[in-house]
């Protein structure tokens, strides 16, 4: 088998066999296939696409390139979720403890933030002492101990994906739905859960800004999951405005705790998405109808069992749970600055990516992987899409340790919102479902 022939075959739009795909992934991982050969194949895939069978096969080849988690050590159904990311998306901080409080072990591997979107690992590391780097054995031991663990990627999982993504990033081959789907699902399949719920976000703050593209990605990922023997479904959710009111690491942990403590007085867009995700995760198990699933989610929010699970996880991962039980313990930024409404009217369309970039300018995010982040930096929104504001009233507060960041962040924020005379139409938080 030769790479030249495989590249030619895909360039002609023909489907690759599982043997050819396994050959490519295995040899690229070991270095026997060069970067320039793989780059040529990735571009051919980007231009010619892949069948559902090819996409499933490349996903499993990536899974088999490294370690996988065996969750059969837990005497219970195992669930997992994945979000494609967005501004203010702190749903894992709510949903994971909710599912754990309902009796299902939650072994969640999450990533760091880059660009305008935040990472769950970074948010949790704003809790003093909290650790996210574990061996696979340590990771599973924490889940056994308290029912849940959220960590960075453990062990040598899907090394093929790491190498392929780095190459895609510099060869303009990121925007291929089969490759995106395979990249995401390889990590989910390797993580071992039987039931997988995907939160595919769409809107101007999402990776998939167009709804039709988001639906295609959701369908591709669900098909992969089912093809790999996992019960898989997806919700396509709204990311045309920041989710919740907090943007930034410790600020988002505080807001997630508010949902777990007093969801009725928390930001209702965030509550709605978290409840929908948790209820649909539970529904995937086939044990209850959807209405019962939602009722069970509200129950563990109301009786604070989910809050107790988050506190237990923080303790088990080396953090100080007093920050969860009383969020006033969190350190605050050295400086804050109110952005005032420039006119009377309603908050209209929001450039959500622009708002995320404003938070990044304050120090809440990274432009490059090696950048340091400020855990206390960020934005608290006082008015959101559809809210009426008066000129001169605060619409957002900026937080930073460097006062000089306020001017560029305010400029970017104000460029990213519009104030309109008429109240805009409401938008649903969940647009549609795939596989449910």
* Residues 297-309 pLDDT 10s: 999 999 999 999 9
| Per-residue pLDDT, 287 | 96
Contact 406, 335 (CB under 8 A): yes
Catalytic (active site) residue 161 = yes
| Per-residue pLDDT, 80 | 96
Overall pTM > 0.85: yes
Burial class (CB in 10 A: 0-12, 13-18, 19+), 169: exposed
Architecture of domain 332-420: Alpha-Beta Complex (3.90)
Contact 291, 279 (CB under 8 A): no
Average pLDDT, whole number, for the chain? 95
Tell me the chain's radius of gyration from C-alpha atoms.
22
Q: How far apart are the first and last CA of the chain?
A: 41
How far apart CA 251 and CA 158 sit, in angstroms, is 32
Catalytic (active site) residue 122 = no
Among candidate residues 187, 215, 231, 296, the one labeled active-site is 187
Strand-by-strand arrangement of the 378-381 sheet = 246-247, 378-381, 394-400, 335-340
Domain 3-49 superfamily per CATH: Transferase, Pyrimidine Nucleoside Phosphorylase; Chain C (1.20.970.10)
Closest listed residue to residue 101, CA positions, set 148, 61, 50:
148
pLDDT band at 113 (very low <50, low <70, confident <90, very high): low
All structural domains of the chain with their residue ranges = 3-49, 71-326, 332-420
Q: What sections of 191-332 are H helices per DSSP?
A: 211-227, 249-262, 268-284, 290-302, 305-316, 322-325
Beta pairing partners, 350:
417
Average the pLDDT over 38-51 and give the result.
Answer: 96
Beta pairing partners, 157:
67
| Per-residue pLDDT, 259 | 98
Contact 221, 185 (CB under 8 A): yes
Among candidate residues 112, 168, 201, 230, the one labeled active-site is 168
Question: Residues for the chain: how many in total?
Answer: 436
Q: pLDDT, tens digit, for every residue of 338-396?
A: 999 999 999 999 999 999 999 999 999 877 777 788 999 999 999 999 999 999 999 99
Among candidate residues 82, 116, 309, 412, the one labeled active-site is 82
Element (H, E) at 359: helix 352-362
Catalytic (active site) residue 81 = no
Proportion of the chain above pLDDT 90, given as a percent: 90
Residue 247 DSSP SS3: strand
Closest listed residue to residue 367, CA positions, set 59, 81, 117, 29:
117
Q: Which two tokens stand for residue 325?
A: 């039980």
Residue 406 has pLDDT above 90, yes or no: yes
Q: pLDDT, tens digit, for every residue of 51-74?
A: 999 999 999 999 999 999 999 999
Q: pLDDT, tens digit, for every residue of 237-294?
A: 999 999 999 999 999 999 999 999 999 999 999 999 999 999 999 999 999 999 999 9
Among candidate residues 89, 122, 161, 199, the one labeled active-site is 161
Among candidate residues 183, 186, 250, 267, the one labeled active-site is 183
Q: pLDDT, tens digit, for every residue of 167-178?
A: 998 899 988 999
Q: Is the dihedral of CA 388, 393, 398, 404 positive or negative?
A: positive
| Per-residue pLDDT, 156 | 87
Q: pLDDT, tens digit, for every residue of 176-221?
A: 999 999 999 999 999 999 999 999 999 999 989 999 999 999 999 9
CATH class of 71-326: alpha beta
Residue 81 DSSP SS3: strand
| Pairing relationship of beta strands 195-202 and 79-83 according to DSSP bridges | parallel
Residue 116 has pLDDT above 90, yes or no: no
């Amino acid at each position: 088998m030769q790479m030249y022939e495989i590249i030619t075959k895909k360039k002609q739009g023909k489907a690759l066999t599982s043997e050819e795909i396994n050959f490519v992934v295995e040899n690229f991982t070991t270095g026997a296939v060069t970067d320039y050969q793989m780059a040529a194949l990735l571009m051919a895939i980007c231009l010619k696409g892949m069948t559902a069978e090819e996409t499933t096969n490349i996903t499993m080849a990536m899974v088999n390139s490294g370690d996988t988690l065996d969750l059969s050590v837990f005497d219970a159904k195992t669930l997992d979720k994945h979000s494609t990311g967005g501004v203010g998306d702190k749903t894992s901080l709510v949903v994971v403890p909710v599912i754990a409080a309902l009796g299902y072990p939650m072994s969640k591997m999450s990533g760091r933030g880059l660009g305008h979107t935040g990472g769950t690992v970074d948010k949790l590391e704003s809790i003093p002492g909290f650790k996210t780097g574990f061996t696979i054995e340590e990771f599973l031991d924490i889940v056994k101990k308290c029912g849940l663990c959220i960590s960075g990627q453990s062990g040598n999982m899907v090394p093929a994906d790491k190498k392929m993504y780095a190459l895609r990033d510099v060869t303009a081959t990121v925007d291929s739905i089969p490759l995106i789907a395979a990249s995401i699902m390889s990590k989910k399949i390797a993580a071992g859960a039987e039931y997988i719920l995907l939160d595919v976000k769409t809107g101007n703050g999402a990776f998939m800004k167009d709804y039709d593209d988001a639906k295609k990605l959701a369908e591709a990922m669900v098909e992969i999951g089912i093809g790999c023997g996992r019960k898989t479904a997806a919700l396509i959710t709204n990311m045309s405005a920041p989710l919740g009111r907090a943007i930034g690491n410790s600020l988002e942990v505080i807001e997630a705790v508010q949902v777990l403590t007093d969801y009725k007085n928390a930001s209702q867009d965030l509550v709605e998405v978290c409840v929908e995700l948790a209820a649909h995760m539970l529904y995937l198990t086939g044990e209850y109808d959807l209405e019962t699933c939602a009722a069970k989610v509200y129950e563990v929010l109301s009786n604070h069992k989910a809050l107790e699970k988050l506190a237990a996880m923080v303790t088990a991962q080396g953090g100080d749970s007093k920050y969860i039980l009383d969020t006033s313990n969190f350190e605050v930024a050295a400086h804050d600055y109110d952005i005032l409404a420039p006119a009377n009217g309603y908050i209209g369309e929001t450039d959500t990516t622009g708002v995320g970039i404003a938070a990044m300018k304050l120090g809440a995010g990274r432009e490059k992987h090696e950048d340091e982040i400020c855990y206390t930096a960020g934005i608290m929104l006082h008015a959101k899409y559809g809210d009426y504001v008066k000129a001169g009233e605060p619409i957002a507060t900026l937080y930073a340790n460097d006062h000089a960041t306020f001017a560029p962040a305010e400029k970017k924020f104000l460029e990213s919102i519009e104030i309109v005379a008429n109240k805009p139409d409401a938008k649903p938080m969940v647009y549609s479902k795939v596989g449910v």
